[in-house]
Copies of this chain bind each other. A is one copy, B any other.
Amino acid sequence: MTSEPPLLLALDLTGTFAFGLNGALTAVRAARLDVVGVVALGMITALGGGVIRDVLIGSIPPATFRDWRYFALAAGGGLIAFALSKRLQRLETPITVLDAIGLSVFAVIGASKALAFGLGIGPAVLLGAVTGVGGGTIRDTLVRRIPSVLHSDLYAIPALVGAAITVATARLGVYSLPAALGAATVCFLIRMLGVRYGLDAPKPPGTSGQDSPGDGAQEE
């Protein structure tokens, strides 16, 4: 990832910090953890998606294990979340924005890296999305929540769209920094529209009536 253009690299590092912070905050709210648990879950949220992608494309050791800045920013985000969890709850909006930046950049860089390792169109789109949502999925599973990406908000869909644009531009031979930023921006906008208007992806037919109980079941 060190060969990324500086702007993408800066966004990628920003996203890593945001995921570490937000992932740890979610963990603090979901379960009573100690400092090790909070920081570990922040790091897993920030680094997990990229690690899954790197294992599946054969980029070993994973990129984030070779550049200490990712480790430091992910752990730093987790530590800040641990220390300031009460105060950070007032900052929900900026944190959501930072998190959406992370999602967008991770999806684009993930898809582009999968292509660079010779994966086909379908797997590259999927691995782009996994880069964006994989870490949060592991975190949710560890704190015994049904991964929110599976049932609420538009989260996986913008990642899939961002990854698909990336793959399409690469296949057309026009992938470049502007194309990457464009794909990330589309992902970011869909995600923020989803947050703003509380949009969800469609539910299975016949289940749309029973609204709250299913969602609430995951807190005890």
Q: Is the CB of A37 within 8 A of B149?
A: yes
Number of A residues, CB within 8 Å of B: 63
Number of chain copies forming the complex: 3
Select from chain B the residue with minimum beta-carbon distance to A118: B61
Q: Which of A175-220 contact B (CB under 8 A)?
A: 200-207, 210, 214-215, 217-218, 220
Which residue on chain B has the smallest CB distance to residue A151?
Answer: B33
A5 located at the interface, meaning its Cβ lies under 8 Å from any Cβ of chain B in the complex? no
- Select one of B65, B120, B157, B206 contacting A56, CB under 8 A: B65
Bound CA span A33–B32, Å = 26
Q: Is the CB of B32 within 8 A of A215?
A: yes
Is A71 a contact partner of B32 (Cβ separation < 8 A)?
A: no
Known: A61-B57, A61-B123. A34 touches B117 (CB 8 A): no
Pick the contact of A31 from B62, B119, B142, B214 — CB < 8 Å?
A: B214
